[in-house]
Structure 1
Amino acid sequence: MMGAVARQVQKGLGQIRQTFLGLVARGGSKQLQLTGVADEVLQEVELIQQVGFSSYIPENSKVVIVPLQGKTARSIVVATTGGAVVVNVAEGEVCIYDQFGHSVWLKEDGTHIEGNLFVNGKVQATEDVLDQKGSMQEIRDAYNPHTHGNSPPPSVKME
């Protein structure tokens, strides 16, 4: 009797699709076309991402596919890896990156940004602002006392 029940349970479990790995055949940020085991094709599989984060998953990325209620037709993607660009981070680090080589990398010594920075709003600093030639304070220090011949220094100083 117990053997028969065990066989029925195993048969039932065999009909429930377990989580599996696949590859992205057509990329996207909401729905993907995937290839699974034995070259099966899964169409319009929903990509589940964290709130506040959205990324376009490129072709040939590896994905974790979860068949909801054990049904392949109701699958979702919950994790991805292996795009053309992959960043390896050290312990404690976090990196947000794209496939164009841009990144925001949170490291122990601070935030590193690779690529152009476009800001729509104020930029405020509690310390000095530097570029390759010097600092904003050095500009002030040079401007405030400067004169042209016998003319007086600027009437409005840079603060």
Structure 2
Amino acid sequence: MIGSMQRQIARGLGQVRLAFIGVVARGSSKLLQLTGVSDEVLDEVELIQQVGFSSYIPEGSRLVVIPLQGKTSRSIVVATDGAPILINVSEGETCIYDQFGHSVWLKKDGTHIKGNLYVDEGDVFVTGGSVTAAKDVSDKKGSMQEIRGTHNSHKHGNSPTPDKLM
């Protein structure tokens, strides 16, 4: 009797798919094609991401697949790893990055941004510090260096150039 029950339980559990590791065959930010165990192909598997974050998962990335209700056909992806570019962070750090080499890295000494920074709407305010540029600062009329050059060399009639250079 107990042996019969154990066989039935084992047969029932054998029909329930457990979570597994897959590999992205076709990337996306919403529906992925992936390969699972023994090169099985799963099409249009939904990628679940945190609200406020959206990533395009590149081909070759590893991922954690959870078959909802134990059914492979109802699988979702809940985590990804192993993309071609990977940034290792230290204790306490967080980094948001893409596969083009851009990153926003929250470190102990401050926020480090790698790549161009575009503000599409709104202004930039600095409320508690200075703005320092290692290179030139420009607006739509010219650069600060061009302004200095013009100021330092200008004259009014026969007067000398400014005695206080910028």
Report the TM-score range of the alignment, normalised by the length of the smaller protein.
0.7 to 0.9
2:134 is matched with which residue?
132
User: TM-score, normalised to structure 2's length?
Assistant: 0.80
Which runs of 5 or more structure 1 residues have no equivalent in the other structure? 154-159
1:156 is matched with which residue?
none
1:13 is matched with which residue?
13
The residue type paired with residue 52 of structure 1 is: G
Q: CA deviation at 1:44?
A: 0.5
Q: Which runs of 4+ in 1 moved over 4 A?
A: 146-151
State the superposition RMSD in angstroms.
2.2
What pairs up with 1:139-158 in 2 under 5 angstroms?
none
1:91 is matched with which residue?
91
Among the aligned pairs, what percent are the same residue? 63
1:29 is matched with which residue?
29
**1:77-96 residue CA offsets vs partner (Å, 9 max, x unmatched):** 00001111001111110000
**1:2-30 residue CA offsets vs partner (Å, 9 max, x unmatched):** 22212211111111000001100000000
User: TM-score, normalised to structure 1's length?
Assistant: 0.83
The residue type paired with residue 124 of structure 2 is: V
How many pairs are equivalent?
A: 144
Instruction: Name the CA distance, whole Å, in 1 between partners of 2:88 and 2:57.
Output: 18
Which runs of 5 or more structure 2 residues have no equivalent in the other structure? 138-143
Instruction: Name the CA distance, whole Å, in 1 between partners of 2:155 and 2:103.
Output: 45
2:141 is matched with which residue?
none
What pairs up with 1:107-126 in 2 under 5 angstroms?
107-119=107-119, 120-125=121-126, 126=128
